[in-house]
Chains A and B, each alone.
Chain A
Amino acid sequence: MDESNDNEIGKLLRLKRYEQPAPGYFENFLHEFHRRQRDELLREPLWKICLQRAQDFMFRLNVPALTSYPVAAAAVLVCAAIISLKIYQGPETTTNVAVQNRQTFTAPANVEGEWTLASPVATRVFTAQPIRKFNEIARTHRATTAPPRYVLDSVPVSYETAFRF
């Protein structure tokens, strides 16, 4: 086992470089690559494609290079401030609505008393008052004394030109 034998093996193996695929294989390889990429893209779920696009966008903006600890801390503080503002403003309006709704759907107090076993068929007598009267429904917020106004196609009824020279 000497170096000349190794050289001969090397020479023999180098002949394998001449084993080549069919003509045109390398020319078509790129088209095949593009086709497979398209197929792969179609098989991927939508969320994954969106995530990929978002990552590409972030990468183009070079976000990792822009971010630093002060910037990240400032961003967290701003987010915290916005969230706390939302929290402190939100509950007042919601409680008002809740109170109004509770008043609207309150049933009369004497309903329980109107259960009776005397009647042949034990039924509950529904004497609850309508929650809103029809007059209230018909009423609008417009003042009744004010003359009616008409708007045609959102254009004020006026024949005067807007500009005078």
Chain B
Amino acid sequence: MDQPRTDEDQQLVARTQSGEAAAFDQLVVKYTPRLYGLVYNMTSNHEDTNDLLQDVFSKAYKAIRGFRGKSSFYTWIHSIAVNMTLNFLKKRGRRYHLSLDDVDAGVQNDKEFLELTASSSPVREADLSELQKRLNEAMMKLSDEHRAVVTMFHIQGMPHAEISKILSVSEGTVRSRLFYANRQLQNYLDEFRKNPVA
């Protein structure tokens, strides 16, 4: 997932800081799908994601006057989103229910999906909804911090360096969390591998 042009963001931020609210609207429109994916895959709940995302942009709008451009707007807004989501997940604890979005029909034409169904992976036997359910269950078994790293790396396609900036941890910590999370996911999905339709 490519990082958006930062100079364009800088201009929009400067215009917002000078009082042009419409410029912030452009930033909202630009970053909503990306941040939605981030928050949704951390919460696995559409309604919570919607509320959180509204709060994220509201907080960003209030704080944007203090944004000095030491990091890119991309990193800054992602940091706000991740931190607010982690705080929310801590408060929510284990009282959650999955409220999943529908899988877009475009997945049927996805190259990787076709490869997975062609191989001897569990995807071949299981239908899409089952696969989605299992993946989300596996994700929810991870700790919040590990899920954040997995979401940003595997689903959002961010590089380690960017994730380390967003989380304000070292790249080594990011790699270590990712390694541990992959092992856990491997274990959770092993059962699904052995018995995909159970």
Contact = CB atoms under 8 A, between A and B. Distances in A.
A5 B190 CA distance: 11
Contact of A37 (B29, B58, B65, B102): B58
Nearest to A16: B155
Contacts of B58: 33, 36-37, 40
Interface stretch (B6-14, B17-25, B89-97): B17-25
Contact of A33 (B28, B102, B189): B28
Interface in B51-75: 53-54, 57-58, 61, 65
Interface stretch (A24-32, A68-76, A141-149): A24-32
Contacts of B103: 15, 18-20
Nearest to A19: B101
A43 interface: no
A59 B112 contact: no
Q: Classify the interface of chain A: helix, strand, loop or mixed.
A: helix
Contacts of B53: 29
A19 B102 contact: yes
A11 B157 CA distance: 11
Given A17-B155, A26-B32, A33 B104 contact: no
Contacts of B154: 9-10, 13-14
Contacts of A56: 19
B83 interface: no
B186 interface: yes
Interface residues of A, number: 30
Interface string B1-44: 00000000000000001110000010011001100110011000
A6 B180 CA distance: 11
B123 interface: yes
Interface in A70-103: none
Contacts of B110: 15, 18
13 contacts: A6-B182, A11-B112, A13-B139, A13-B155, A15-B107, A18-B104, A19-B103, A29-B32, A33-B28, A33-B57, A33-B58, A56-B19, A60-B19
Contacts of A9: 154, 182, 185-186, 189
A1 interface: yes
A99 to B, nearest CB: 55
A50 interface: no
B131 interface: yes
A49 B32 CA distance: 27
A20 B104 CA distance: 6
B150 interface: yes
A44 to B, nearest CB: 11
A15 B104 CA distance: 10
A12 interface: yes
Contacts of B164: none
Contacts of B25: 30
